[in-house]
Chain A
Amino acid sequence: MLNDLNFKALIARGDQKRFRQLMELTSDELLWFAIGFLKNRETSEEIVSDVYVSIWNNRKQLESITNLKSYLFICVRNGCLSHLRKIKNEKIISIDSVSEFSFVRVEGPENDYIEKETLEQIYAAIETLPCKCKMAFTLAKINGLKYREIAEVLGVTEKTVNNHLVLAVKKIMEALNVNKKAKVKTSPLKQAGLFNYTW
């Protein structure tokens, strides 16, 4: 939907309702991403909001953007980088110089299939990952970005994205302590089929 030409054309022509839809669809995810960098909710909200303001002010160029989703993430990334530059007074010029990124806390459905301790093990495994690897993992897992899109946001090749994600998966799998009594109620694969949600 986001990359629908008609959708972008309507916003470009000044359709405020469509623009609001765009924000409704993307604001939560962009906020989580910004908090990953800044750990501060208020500043993160401000940065995401500023991104929307500049998108609206430059809406005439919207139609030339092929992938609106990754574009939004790139804008938020840039906003966070320049904020870090300001407050830390460091030479944070590119994403490579960012040294901290936090993986957002997640919640599962009720009747958790994954026990609390296991979830902590997963968090701990993610924490050991290098910063950019954590970012790649967040963008893939939380935001559902494709390799190509993650590569754009992080400024690396798709091959590197693949390496990051494989490392993350490996670390998590190694950390998992499988309980022999694990309740297998519904096949996770079956459940996964329900999530064919496309943007």
Chain B
Amino acid sequence: MEEAEQRYELITKELTSEIPEGEKIFPDKEISENIELRQKKAMLQYFWFNYFPKPLPNQIIKKTEKKLGFSNAKCTIGISTIYKTAAAVLLVVSLGYIGYQHSKPKNNVILNEYVTLPGEVKEFILSDGTKVWLNSKTVLIAAEPFIEENREVLLIGGGYFEVAHDAGKPFIIKSSSLKTTVLGTHLDVSAYPGDIKTEVSLYEGKVEIADKDLPENKMVMKPGQKVSFSNDEKNFYVKSNELEIPAEWREGILRFYDEDLNSIAQKLERKFSTRIFITDDQVGKLRFTASFDTEPLDKILKLLREAHEFKIEKTTNGIIIKTVKNNI
């Protein structure tokens, strides 16, 4: 009887991970030889690690915040947290279910957040082997490992993907206005909050891009295509059919192809983490084609000014770009 008692204690300590690290466990002869006992132990272990109560929808957080008068918390959130907040909001919408599971302990799915700061480019490998480079100021959220039918990730910002091939499990990149479905390929997605368009460049393979709100509004991209989707008008525009070097931003290269100053300024803001104010529409609409490597912001602006005239003013709050006309 004493022996049986010890056996149960051993099983209990295994379940609760109360066996100190490095302590030797003597294999129990009875457990290893008695098939029925082994099956029971396996079943108990399965119960212990896989069976949990369903999260109860509850008002606890709401109630508590109300009691403490936190209701105005939303208004005091700083700009730096907007990206995270945006992530949280989108997350609730599209991955709500998985988010729910996240609050459960000992769950096999973990919600991973990959983040880059302004001016930073980072490379990550997801649990399915997909390689991702994130451009500056980007948040990528993935519930890993991917146990659902699809491999869904949420992108707020810009990223270059080398998607690991898995024909049975499409890789889906959700961003604020587009849903990009991928079957093993290399592509670059730029979907920053505040930008008027979402851009997808395909370098290899095949992808389908669809309006997130109207899935019928979609197109299939061919390699070499760079498609821009207007977030407001909801239409696709094939910008280029020529294969370029994939996602040069990974090497710190900035390339603008017939791009207006408004959109260039947004990219410069993210890369150099400064504010750039453009005072009038006319200057904002000037178009440039250029590429930069390691040049500092000062030099980039001066070089751009060579092509079209404008005035640069530095202030403590950022850089102001003005038209020169007014001063003549």
Contact = CB atoms under 8 A, between A and B. Distances in A.
A30 to B, nearest CB: 8
Given A24-B61, A31-B60, A189-B42, 15 more contacts: A17-B73, A23-B64, A28-B103, A108-B47, A109-B50, A140-B16, A144-B105, A168-B12, A170-B5, A172-B47, A188-B42, A189-B45, A192-B48, A194-B108, A197-B105
Contacts of B104: 28
Interface of A: 16-17, 20, 23-25, 27-29, 31-32, 41, 45-46, 48-49, 52-53, 56, 104-109, 113-114, 118-119, 122, 140-144, 146-147, 162, 165-166, 168-170, 172-173, 176, 178, 182, 184, 187-189, 191-192, 194-195, 197, 199
A35 to B, nearest CB: 8
A122 B9 CA distance: 18
A53 B67 contact: yes
Secondary structure of the A side of the interface?
helix
**What 6 A-B pairs have minimum CB-CB distances, sorted nearest first?**
A188-B46, A106-B51, A195-B106, A194-B108, A178-B39, A52-B64
Contact of A192 (B43, B49, B58): B49
Nearest to B67: A53
B304 interface: no
Interface of B: 5, 8-9, 11-12, 15-16, 18, 36-37, 39-56, 58-61, 63-65, 67-68, 70, 73, 81, 103-108, 110
B71 to A, nearest CB: 11
Given A191-B49, A192-B49, A20 B65 contact: yes
Given A147-B16, A173-B40, A197-B110, A29 B49 contact: no
Contacts of B81: 17
Contacts of B61: 20, 23-24, 27
B52 A142 contact: yes
A173 B73 CA distance: 50
Contacts of A23: 60-61, 64
B68 A32 contact: no
B36 A178 contact: yes
